[in-house]
A and B are shown apart, each in its own frame.
Chain A
Amino acid sequence: MALFFQQTLTGLSVGLVYATVAMGLMLLLRAAGVMNFAQGNLLAMGAYVGYALIEKLNLSSMALAILLSVLLFVFVGCIFCGVCVLPFKRAKWPQAMLICTLGAGTVINELCLLLVTTETKALRPIIPGALTVGGFVIQYQYFFIFGAMILMMGGLYFLFEKTYCGCILSAASQNKYAADLLGIPTNLTIVITFCIVVCMTGVSGWLLAPIYYVSPSLSTFQARAFASIVIGGFGNLQGAVVGGVIVGLVEAYSSYFTTTYKDVVVFGCLLLMLVIRPTGILKSEQRKEKA
C-alpha cells in the first residue's frame, strides 16, 4: 500500500513536469505552428543555468540568481524565436522549421556542455532531505516541484483566460491571420509566447536538477511530453496537463511489472490512444470531416 502511495506521488510529480513541458510544447505549436524538438534541450538548459548560477558563480542571493536566470531565459527565447520561427513565415517546406528546431536543440545542448560543464553534476536541492511518512519516503524537492508546477499552470490559466494580454496571445495563436487583421502585433506575441515558454521550461529544469542531475539526459523528457500531448488531447492546454499526469502515473505504475520496458508501456499507450481516439482524452476544436 505504501508502495502504491509512493508510486502515485512520484508519478504525479513527474507527471506535472511532463505536463509543464507539454504545455510549453502546446503553446508553441499553437502560437508558431512549430513542433519544437528542442523542448527537452531547453529543460536541460534550465538545469545547467541553475547549476552555473548557484555552484559555479556561487551567487549567495537566490533572488539575484532567479532574476539573472529569467533574463537569460528571455534572451534565449528571443533568439530561438528569431532563428527558428520568424524566418519561416513564408516557408515552402513546413518540415524545414521542425528540422531547424532540431538543430537549435543541438546547439543549445552543446553550448550548455561547453560553457558550463561536461560532467554530470549534482545540484543542491532547495531543501535537502526527504519526508518520511509511514512506509514511504518522498524528497522535499518534490513538494517544490509540485508547488511550482501548480503555480505555473495556474499563472498560465490566469494569463490566458482572465487578462487582456492573455486574450491577445490566445487570439494570435488560434488564428494568426485574423489577429493580424485586428491589429494584434502577431510577431510580438509570438516572441512573448516563446519567452514565457522558455522561462517555464527553464525553471522546471532547474527544479528537476537536484533529482535528475545536471546532464543532457533531461532532454529525454521531451518524448514523454509529446506522448502527453497526444494522450491528453491535442490542441488545448488542459489536455496537456491531463496527458502529462497520466503519462507520469502510467510510468510510475508500470514499475510494478517491468522496469526495463517502461518506454514500451508509455509509448504503447500513445500508439493505442492514436488508434482508438486520435484526438486524445479531452477533445479540442474539431476540423470538418471529409468523406
Chain B
Amino acid sequence: MKNTTKAVLFRYLIALMVVLFMTFVLRNNLKNSQVNVFNTALIFFFCVAGQYVMLGLGGMLGMCSITFLGLGAFLCAYLNTRCAIPVIPSIILGTVASGLLALFLGLLLLKLDGPYFVFGTIGVVYIGTSIFQNFTAFTGGPNGISGIGKLSLLGYTFSTFKSWVPLLGTLVMLLLFLLYRIKNTSFGRGLMAVRDDETAAFSLGINVYRTKVIAFAVAGLLAGFGGGLYAVHNGTISASLFTFSTQTKFIIMLMLGGVMSPIGAFCGTILVNFLPEIARFADSYLNLLYGCMIIVLMIFMPMGLAGVQKELATRIRTASQKRIAAKKGA
C-alpha cells in the first residue's frame, strides 16, 4: 500500500514540476507568438485526448472531433458576444452542447460497422464545415466571430498569452491524470475489450454499443471544452480552422506521439504544433516534410513515439536481465 501512495505522490510532484517549468522557464524564454503556439497546442490536446479515448482506448476512428471543437468554440463565442453570457458559463454551455451532439451522433452512427462509421463521421465533418462557413447568423460566416471576452478567475483576468500558461498547464496535467485513471476503471477496461475482442466483451457482460456511445460522447465533451477554451484564448475564431484537413492533423498528433499513450499523445500534440517553428528553414518544403514524416512514422513506428520508448525499455530490460542471468550462471 505504501508503495502505491508513494508512486501516486511522486506523479503529482512530477506534474507540479512540469507546470512550474512551463510557467517560469518556457514562457520567459519564448517569444509571445511561440507562447501562443504553445497554448494552442495545450488547448488542442483536449481534442486529442478525446480522440485518445475514442481511438486509442476504443478503437473507433471517428473523424469528427473537429466538428465538436468547432461547435464548442462557436457556441461559446456566440453566447458571449451576442447573448452577453459571461465567459465561464459560455464555455460550459459550449462543452455541454458538443457532448450532446456527440451523444446524438454516436447513438446514430455507432450501430454501424467500422468503415461505415468512419464514412459517417467524415460526412459530419463536411456538413459541419459547410454550416460553419455559411451560417452567418451563428458563426459570422467567413469573418468569424471576434471580440470574445477575456477569462477571469477569482478576480484575476487572463489578458496575455503568457498568463494562460500556468492555467492551461494545470488543466492539461489534470486531464492526463484523468486519462490514466480511466484506464484503470471498469469503463476503460470495457472500452479496451470493445477495441480488442468484441466476443470476449459480450461474454463478459459488456454492453458494447453503450460503451462505444459513452466513449464517443466523452470525446465530444473534451473537444467541446477545448473549443470553448480556444475561443476565449484567441478572442476571435473563424470557420477556416474547422475543416477536414485540420482533422487529419489532429489524428496525426495522436498517432505521432502514441495512439495508446496519453503522455505520448501530449508530446505528439506539442511536436506537431511546433513543427512549423522548428522547421522554419524548410519553409516551402514544410508540408512535404510533414507528409514524409507521417509515412515513415506509420511504417516504422505505428505505435508512435510512446511505442518506440516502450520497445526500447523492454529491450533494455531484457538485455540487463540476460546480463544478470549470465553473471549468476558464471
Contacts and interface: CB of A to CB of B under 8 A. Distances in A.
- For the residues of A in contact with B, the DSSP-based class is helix
B284 A103 contact: no
Contacts of A29: 115
A35 B292 CA distance: 19
A106 B112 contact: no
B248 A102 contact: yes
B291 A104 contact: yes
B115 A234 contact: yes
Interface in A236-272: 260-264, 266-268, 270-271
Contact of A98 (B61, B129, B244, B299): B61
- For the residues of B in contact with A, the DSSP-based class is helix
A92 B119 CA distance: 22
B299 A83 contact: yes
Interface string B266-308: 0000000000000000001101101111110111001100000
Nearest to B133: A260
B108 interface: yes
A267 B123 contact: yes
Interface stretch (B19-27, B251-259, B319-327): B251-259
A282 interface: no
A87 interface: yes
B88 interface: no
Interface size class of B (residues with CB under 8 A): 35 or more
Contact of B291 (A87, A103, A262): A103
A106 B291 contact: yes
B299 A87 contact: yes
Contacts of B294: 99-100, 102-103, 106
Interface of A: 29, 35, 37, 83-84, 87-88, 91-93, 95-100, 102-107, 109-111, 114, 223, 226-227, 229-230, 234, 260-264, 266-268, 270-271, 274-275, 278
Rank and list the top 10 A-B pairs by shortest CB-CB distance, nearest first: A103-B294, A106-B291, A107-B291, A263-B130, A110-B288, A96-B302, A267-B123, A100-B298, A103-B295, A270-B123
27 contacts: A83-B299, A95-B55, A96-B255, A96-B298, A100-B295, A103-B294, A104-B295, A105-B291, A106-B290, A106-B294, A107-B291, A223-B122, A227-B119, A230-B119, A234-B115, A261-B130, A264-B127, A267-B123, A270-B119, A270-B123, A271-B108, A271-B120, A271-B124, A271-B127, A274-B112, A278-B113, A278-B116
